[in-house]
Amino acid sequence: MYKQFQDKLTEIARDKYGKSIKALDKEELYCVLGALVNEKCDFHRKQTCGKTAIYFSIEYLIGKLLYSNLYNMKNTDCVEKVLRDNGHSLSEFEDIDDYAFGNGGLGRLAACFLDSAASCEITLDGYGIRYKKGLFRQSFADDGSQLEEADDWQKISDAFAIKREEEAVNVEFSDFTVRAVPFDYNIIGYSFKRINTLRLYEARKLTCDESDAEKIYEYLYPDDSTYEGKKLRLRQQYFLVSASLQNIISRYGIENLEDKIKIQLNDTHPILAIPELINLCIKSNMSFDAALEKCCKIFAYTNHTVMPEALEEWDSSLMKEVIPQIYGIIEKINDMLLYELSNNKEVSFCDCAVIKDGRVKMANLACYVVSHINGVAGIHTDILKKDTLSQWYRLYPEKFSNKTNGITQRRWLGLCNRVLADFLSELCGCDIVEELENIKRLESFRDDSEVLKRLREIKYQNKKDFCSYAEKAYGININPDSVFVVQIKRIHEYKRQLLAIFGAVHLYLHMKKGEYAHLPEVTFIFAGKAAAGYKMAKSIIKYINNVATVINNDTDTAGKIKIYFLPNYNVSLAEKLIPAADISLQISQAGTEASGTGNMKLMMNGAVTLGTYDGANIEICREAGEENNYIFGLRENEVNSLKVNYNPKKLYENTPVIKEAVDTLVSGKFGERYGFMDVYESLINAENPDRYMVLADLTSFISCLIDALNDFKNDKYFNKKSLMNIANSAYFSSDRTIREYAEDIWFKE
């Protein structure tokens, strides 16, 4: 094996650059490795038999491909050895930017699905956009506020993309036509089980005067607070689906297409695929009715959120202006729906209308047409059925199913926490990454002191590794002996980072007075980006940073509590931090987090969940035992009944613990006096104050946090919980999820 790699790399280095491996610079070596990987893929590629499943997604949050590709090829050690013997190392590539074509969970899920399908020998090709600038790079100003910088990921050439100029197609808008140029990425299944393809498109102008054309792929989610931004976003969506469908039709033919492919629509963003496929069918002389019938068989839709602001709607006038032919088709679909519902007493057309009050409702368009609709965790699917999409559930109950999310254990255990994976393999008597279902065997060691001790040592080493990384990367000194309480995810009010920081503020204020002396030292670690235009989320970041500055510099509480907000959370940072976490904060308001997937990654790496009964936390408790996690706060039904008369101001006035924490927003204790008036007002005096009930859950959060910290002192007791979480994490493999999609939706006869 060694010789084979040595020879192959030498050959590619010579052909590409006329150099020896030793003489290559970093970028050249990266490209040589990419070429090697792609060549191996050509060798291992297999034909598809039967139907092909296709994933349409506006986001793919991939992270680094070099390490995961070598990992899946099972060649990491061998390649590392060849590189070392030639004066290089794989770690040289640590600082190459992630592929960050996504915002958060939805994009990362798409990446996990691709990995799982290939590893489970399921044909699943992905289509998306190759953004010139991915998700922005985050840093903090001196005053703690978020700064955004464009992500210039192509500073170093892309070693893995294969440009397919010859398969470029045109995408037509009312005012101009653009050329969609595809770039293919090999998706390598574990041990080369299967090679699938992710195809990402770039936009090219056709003539010199179409300067707008290339803007289409310039940024992921251009700021859509302006009219021009919205228009660009609509153009992106149409660009993706039109280019992809043209390619699919040229590959499979339009005749009987429904027998050859199934397309999964990842949230509302690619739903324009429905009218576009009708458009393309009509162009090949099919009737509208036949085309619509085809769509009903080809498409399935996954919903990823119940937040009303995230259920996409477009102004009819905008759509008419940008893609008039598509708008015309949507009008026709809407007419058919109206006709179909005219005699229906169960549901009213009003609730289902695709076009209403001058707006096009994308979720309604999907629900009418697709064959399958799914949510991403049990509670989420239940909420879709009873609230968000209840009218559609009444109409088409048979379309609905749940597909609880998952994560790939290859990246999120094998690659990021090798020592743990090896230890688990040893205990369970198999390659645990390959046969994750056997991880359940770990349970039989729940009272084995030696095993518990070894687990603690592995966690401790991971914490020390993280501390050295943090020192190098940020110049901070984290104490590995403290309890790591982590909240890592997008910053959003519903995820309630504010609740976490209020908990920390409470501990600090009381520790300063000499209380909580019995608790172990605690380090709160936050990471996550706020949308550039989301003011409240940005204020919350600034507040956390301001709190951190005061606490971290207070000698009274040194050795008791520290807070760090790590900048620029991305896949690579997650891979370093997750193996080091002790306590995973998953504290969204019950009923708001569709699923969460970070919760699963943390669980698989032995963190215990401190969370609300929301999203997949519920299923984590079902699998690992509620007694092995820390659940607090209002349940979903309680949230709903409290909503009616919720009075946070009264809570604030009558509960000293709440008042004490909330007042620090304006007291000047952390930053300027009245510095966080906007946050304060949103909790106390807004029209709909404390929308996510931070104050209602604060006291129970604090007492749950104290319980967990207390338990941490009892090594054996806490490690057993950690073990039980690891042992029951197999359900959260995206291999399981993808098999469910395959069986129930994609390849069902």
Q: Which residues are catalytic?
A: 304, 489-490, 495, 597, 601
Phi, psi of 125 (to 5 degrees): -100, 145
221: left (phi over 0), alpha (psi -120 to 50) or beta: left
CB of 531 to ligand 26V, least distance (A): 7
Residue with Cβ nearer ligand 26V (304 or 529): 304
CB of 315 to ligand 26V, least distance (A): 17
Per CB under 6 A, 536 contacts ligand 26V: no
Per CB under 6 A, 388 contacts ligand 26V: no
Residue with Cβ nearer ligand 26V (307 or 550): 307
Q: How many residues bind ligand 26V (CB under 6 A)?
A: 18
Per CB under 6 A, 532 contacts ligand 26V: no
Per CB under 6 A, 482 contacts ligand 26V: no
Distance between CA atoms of residues 110 and 105, nearest Å: 9
Stretch that binds ligand 26V, among 10-18, 29-37, 102-110, 521-529 (CB under 6 A): 102-110
CB of 495 to ligand 26V, least distance (A): 8
For ligand 26V, the binding residue among 63, 104, 270, 606 (CB under 6 A) is 104
CB distance 299 to 274 below 8 Å:
yes
Distance between CA atoms of residues 182 and 168, nearest Å: 6
Distance between CA atoms of residues 401 and 374, nearest Å: 5
Give residues 197-226 in contact with ligand 26V (rule: CB under 6 A): none
Stretch that binds ligand 26V, among 230-238, 273-281, 306-314, 514-522 (CB under 6 A): 306-314
Q: In degrees to the nearest 10, what's the CA dihedral of 14, 20, 22, 25?
A: -40
Distance between CA atoms of residues 91 and 465, nearest Å: 15
Q: Is 10 exposed, middle or buried (0-12, 13-18, 19+ CB in 10 A)?
A: middle
Per CB under 6 A, 404 contacts ligand 26V: no
CB of 405 to ligand 26V, least distance (A): 5
CB of 107 to ligand 26V, least distance (A): 7
Instruction: Please report which helix (H) or strand (E) contains residue 697, including its range.
Output: helix 694-712
Residue with Cβ nearer ligand 26V (564 or 613): 613
Distance between CA atoms of residues 343 and 347, nearest Å: 10
CB of 173 to ligand 26V, least distance (A): 25
Residue with Cβ nearer ligand 26V (59 or 582): 59
Phi, psi of 90 (to 5 degrees): -60, -25
Per CB under 6 A, 125 contacts ligand 26V: no
Residue with Cβ nearer ligand 26V (122 or 531): 531
Residue with Cβ nearer ligand 26V (104 or 144): 104
Residue with Cβ nearer ligand 26V (464 or 736): 736
Q: By Cβ distance, which residue is nearest to ligand 26V?
A: 105
- The three-point CA angle 552-557-558 to 5° equals 65
Q: How far is CA 683 from the centre of its chain?
A: 28
Residue with Cβ nearer ligand 26V (242 or 405): 405
Per CB under 6 A, 105 contacts ligand 26V: yes
Distance between CA atoms of residues 197 and 522, nearest Å: 44
CB of 159 to ligand 26V, least distance (A): 28
Ordered strands of the 583-586 beta sheet: 561-566, 522-527, 483-488, 583-586, 608-611, 630-631
Give Cβ neighbours of residue 457 (< 8 Å, ≥ 6 apart): none
Q: Name the token pair of 151.
A: 């992500």
Stretch that binds ligand 26V, among 4-12, 28-36, 98-106, 347-355 (CB under 6 A): 98-106
Distance between CA atoms of residues 522 and 558, nearest Å: 10
CA dist 388 → 99, 353, 402, 718, 745 (Å): 33, 14, 15, 39, 22
CB of 38 to ligand 26V, least distance (A): 29
Distance between CA atoms of residues 327 and 343, nearest Å: 26
Give residues 222-281 in contact with ligand 26V (rule: CB under 6 A): 267
DSSP letter at 143? T
For ligand 26V, the binding residue among 78, 90, 310, 473 (CB under 6 A) is 310
For ligand 26V, the binding residue among 405, 609, 728, 734 (CB under 6 A) is 405
Q: Is 255 exposed, middle or buried (0-12, 13-18, 19+ CB in 10 A)?
A: exposed
Stretch that binds ligand 26V, among 111-119, 223-231, 301-309, 460-468 (CB under 6 A): 301-309
Per CB under 6 A, 503 contacts ligand 26V: no
Per CB under 6 A, 408 contacts ligand 26V: no
Q: Name the token pair of 392.
A: 């559609």
- The three-point CA angle 349-327-228 to 5° equals 115
CB of 172 to ligand 26V, least distance (A): 29
Q: What is the per-residue binding string for ligand 26V in 586-625, x denoting contact by CB under 6 A?
A: -------xxxxx-----------------x----------
Question: Using N-to-C axis directions, what is the helix angle for 497-512 and 656-663, rounded to 10°?
Answer: 100
Per CB under 6 A, 304 contacts ligand 26V: yes
Stretch that binds ligand 26V, among 69-77, 101-109, 454-462, 538-546 (CB under 6 A): 101-109
Residue with Cβ nearer ligand 26V (722 or 734): 734
For ligand 26V, the binding residue among 305, 334, 722, 725 (CB under 6 A) is 305
Phi, psi of 55 (to 5 degrees): -110, 120
CB of 493 to ligand 26V, least distance (A): 9
For ligand 26V, the binding residue among 117, 376, 424, 742 (CB under 6 A) is 376
CA nearest 405: which of 626, 616, 613?
A: 616
For ligand 26V, the binding residue among 24, 106, 277, 383 (CB under 6 A) is 106
3-class secondary structure, 553? coil
Residue with Cβ nearer ligand 26V (412 or 516): 412
CB of 199 to ligand 26V, least distance (A): 22
Residue with Cβ nearer ligand 26V (349 or 494): 494
Stretch that binds ligand 26V, among 99-107, 222-230, 430-438, 647-655 (CB under 6 A): 99-107
CB distance 525 to 573 below 8 Å:
no
Residue with Cβ nearer ligand 26V (597 or 682): 597
CA dist 302 → 264, 604, 714 (Å): 7, 25, 43
Distance between CA atoms of residues 349 and 604, nearest Å: 45
CB of 596 to ligand 26V, least distance (A): 5
For ligand 26V, the binding residue among 307, 338, 509, 706 (CB under 6 A) is 307
Per-residue burial over 362-379, b if 16 or more Cβ lie within 10 Å, else e, is bbbbbbbbbbbbbbbbbb
Interacting residues with ligand 26V (CB under 6 A):
104-106, 109, 267, 304-305, 307, 309-310, 376, 405, 593-597, 615
